[in-house]
């Protein structure tokens, strides 16, 4: 995995969130019948107030290139939503997300794979989703296959892969697309001990070359060892933002 040299990128923004929030409407507000649709859309009669919930409260956040950010918080705190906003999967309700460089996100291992397609075909579609051209995919193809360890089942429909094999392939694509920013949500426990060691070695090289990481994991010891910055979310709000050591220490006390 190669990235721009750290001397060229460190200290400049990789991702900037300016006044970004994300709201979700409750299911009770969905139009679930033709009659309700007719009343609201054709007769223009308003329905009941639409209660909303903030998954992310308005936030200003800048992640600098070369930083490794540990994103922590209990379940439902908004970590995955924030990653989806950073990656562009979600559009913010308010504010703007500014991205610099290619972003590779592994937010749900195997998401985006087509069950009926082979591993080889899924590599082609997955790399295209990350913005690689056919030539770039061809250049990295052997590296992806070797890293995932799926050469012997490459032409088998991916529905016959084990969950672990699908996870290894998804993570391998993300690690081999030469992104400037990696967003990983609980993706570091994939595979056996040997595969995880290879993943960490690859991430170390990526970081040393100036790459930017945002990591979500319940393994706080690993985050403390690997990350230099911490961000603690609770109910969509930032509780603490600072050095990984201080933020994780405060989070552990809760």
In a domain, 110, yes or no: yes
pLDDT at 84: 93
In a domain, 246, yes or no: yes
In a domain, 198, yes or no: yes
The tokens describing 145, both together, are 């296959």
In a domain, 1, yes or no: no
* Structure-token match 């909303």, residue found: 52
Interatomic CA distance for residues 208 and 161, integer angstroms:
33
Query: Domain with 180 in it: what CATH number?
Result: 3.40.50.300
Q: What is the pTM of this model?
A: 0.82
| Beta strands across the sheet bearing 212-216 | 103-106, 181-185, 212-216, 68-72, 229-234, 237-243
Is the pLDDT score of 47 beyond 90?
no
Domain that holds residue 169: 6-252
Mean pLDDT of the region 71-91: 93
Helix %, strand %, coil % of the chain (to 5): 40, 25, 35
Count up the domains in the chain and report the number: 1
* Residue 5 vs residue 154, higher pLDDT: 154
Closest CA to 213 of 107, 84, 63: 63
pLDDT at 5: 43
10-24, 127-141, 188-202, 218-232: least confidently modelled range: 188-202
In a domain, 61, yes or no: yes
Is the pLDDT score of 8 beyond 70?
no
Mean pLDDT of the region 43-68: 77
pLDDT band at 227 (very low <50, low <70, confident <90, very high): very high
pLDDT at 26: 57
DSSP structure class, residue 50? -
Is the pLDDT score of 219 beyond 60?
yes
**Coil/strand/helix, residue 24:** strand
pLDDT band at 168 (very low <50, low <70, confident <90, very high): confident
* Residue 112 vs residue 205, higher pLDDT: 205
In a domain, 167, yes or no: yes
Dihedral, CA of residue 58, residue 180, residue 199 and residue 177, to nearest 10: 120
pLDDT at 111: 64
The tokens describing 220, both together, are 């706080």
Is the pLDDT score of 146 beyond 70?
yes
Interatomic CA distance for residues 85 and 175, integer angstroms:
20
* Residue 235 vs residue 188, higher pLDDT: 235
Q: What would the pLDDT profile of 191-213 be if each residue is shown by its tens digit?
A: 778 888 888 888 899 998 999 99
pLDDT at 6: 41
């Amino acid at each position: 995995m190669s990235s721009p040299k750290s001397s060229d990128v460190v200290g400049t923004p990789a991702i900037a969130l300016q006044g970004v929030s994300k709201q979700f409407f409750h299911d009770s507000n969905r139009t679930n019948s033709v009659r309700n649709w007719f009343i609201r859309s054709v007769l223009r009669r308003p329905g009941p107030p639409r209660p909303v919930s903030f998954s992310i409260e308005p936030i200003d956040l800048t992640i600098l290139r070369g930083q490794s950010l540990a994103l922590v918080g209990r379940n439902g705190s908004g970590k995955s939503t924030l990653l989806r906003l950073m990656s562009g999967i979600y559009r913010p309700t308010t504010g703007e997300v500014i991205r610099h460089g290619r972003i590779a996100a592994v937010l749900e291992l195997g998401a985006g794979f087509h069950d009926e397609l082979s591993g080889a075909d899924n590599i082609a579609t997955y790399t295209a989703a990350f913005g690689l051209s056919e030539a770039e995919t061809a250049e990295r193809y052997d590296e992806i296959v070797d890293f995932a360890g799926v050469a012997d089942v490459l032409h088998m429909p991916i529905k016959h892969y084990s969950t672990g094999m699908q996870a290894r392939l998804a993570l391998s694509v993300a690690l081999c697309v030469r992104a400037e920013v990696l967003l990983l949500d609980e993706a570091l426990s994939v595979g056996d001990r040997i595969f995880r060691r290879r993943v960490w070695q690859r991430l170390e090289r990526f970081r040393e070359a100036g790459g930017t990481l945002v990591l979500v994991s319940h393994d706080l010891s690993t985050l403390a060892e690997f990350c230099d910055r911490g961000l603690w979310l609770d109910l969509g709000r930032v509780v603490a933002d600072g050095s990984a050591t201080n933020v994780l220490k405060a989070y552990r006390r809760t």
